[in-house]
Structure 1
Amino acid sequence: MAKQRGSCNSGSSSSRGCLSNLKCKCGTDAVDADCGFFKWIGGVREIGDELRFQLFEKETTIAELEMQKQIVEEKVKKLQLKKENMEEDLQELKAEVSQMRIELMKSSRNEKNFSLALMLSWVLFGIIVMYLK
C-alpha cells in the first residue's frame, strides 16, 4: 500500500513531481526500481487531457503572437506609405525652392538693371535741364 507525503494535485505541470511524493509500503521512495512497487500516477486520460490543455495554451499563444505580428506588419506598411508620400512631397518642395531661387536671382538682376536705368535717366534729365538753361 502506498502512502503520499503531501498532496499531488492534478493541476501540476508534470507527473514526475507526483512521484517524489509517493512512498512504497516498504518505506522507500516510489522511484526506487529495486522495490518493484508500481502505481499509476493519474490516469493516462488525465495525462492526455493535461497535454491537450498545454497544447491548446501553446496554440493560443502562437495565434495571439501571429495576430500581433500581423498588426505590426500593417503598421509598418502604413508607415512606409507615409514615408514614401513624404519623400515625394519633399522632392516637390525642393523643386519649388529651386524655382523660387532662380526667380529671385532674376528679379535681383532686374532690380539692378532698373536701378541703373533710373540713374542714367536722371543723369540724362539733369544734362538736358542744364543744356536748356
Structure 2
Amino acid sequence: MERSKHQFATSGSSSSSRGGSIGRIKCNCGRDAVVRLVKTGPNVGLKFHGCPLWPDTDCGFFKWIGGVRDEVDDLWFQLFEKETTIAELEIHKKMLEDKVKRVQLKKENLEEDLQELKGETSQLRIELMKSARNERNFSLALILSWVLFGIVIMSMM
C-alpha cells in the first residue's frame, strides 16, 4: 500500500460532487472524499476517490471513478438491496398472516367458550328460579304445618 500511495497525485479539483454523475462519497474518516488522478504506473490518467487528508493519514480510502464496471456494480448492489427488502417484507407479511390466523383461531375458541358460558348461565338461572319456587313452597308448607299444629293443639285443649 505504501508504494502505491506514491503513484497518485491530487487533481486540480478537490470536490467530489463535480463531474456529473459522481455523487458525494465519504472516506473511512467520514470526510467527503476528493477526486485524484493517477500520475504514474499502469493506471495513468484514471481518476479515483481518496481521503482528503492523504498522505498524512492512514485512512486508506480508495475507489475508482467512472467506467461501466462501477455503474454495473452499483446497479447490481441496488438490485440486491431491493431484492433483500422485498424478501424481508415477504417474511414480515408471512409472519403477520400467521399471527392473524392465530388470532382468528383464538377468537373462534373464545366465541365457543362464550356460547358455553351463556348456556351455563341460562341453566343456573333456571335452577335459581326452581329453588326460589321450592323455597316459597317450603315456606308455605311450614306456615300451614304451624297453623295445623296450632289447630290440633287448640282442639286438644
The TM-score normalised by the length of structure 2 is 0.62
- Aligned residue for 1:17? 21
**TM alignment of 1:72-111, pairs within 5 A:** 72-111=96-135
Query: Aligned AA for 2:82?
Result: K
* Paired position in structure 2 for 1:56: 80
Question: Which residues of structure 1 form unaligned runs of 5+?
Answer: 9-14, 23-40
Q: Which residue of 2 aligns with 1:7?
A: 16
How far apart are residue 6 of structure 1 and its match? 1.5
Separation of aligned partners in 2, 1:47 and 1:5: 22
Alpha-carbon shift at residue 122 of structure 1 (Å): 0.7
Runs (4+) off by over 4 Å: 2-5
> 1:42 is matched with which residue?
66
Structure with greater strand percent: 2
User: Between Structure 1 and Structure 2, how many residues are aligned?
Assistant: 107
Match of 1:66 in 2: 90
- Partner of residue 32, structure 1: none
Residue 122 (structure 1) aligned with residue 146 (structure 2): yes
CA distance in 2, matches of 1:61, 1:16: 29
Question: Matched residue of 1:17: which SS?
Answer: coil
CA RMSD of aligned residues (A): 2.3
User: Identity of aligned pairs, percent?
Assistant: 65
Shift of 1:5: 5.4
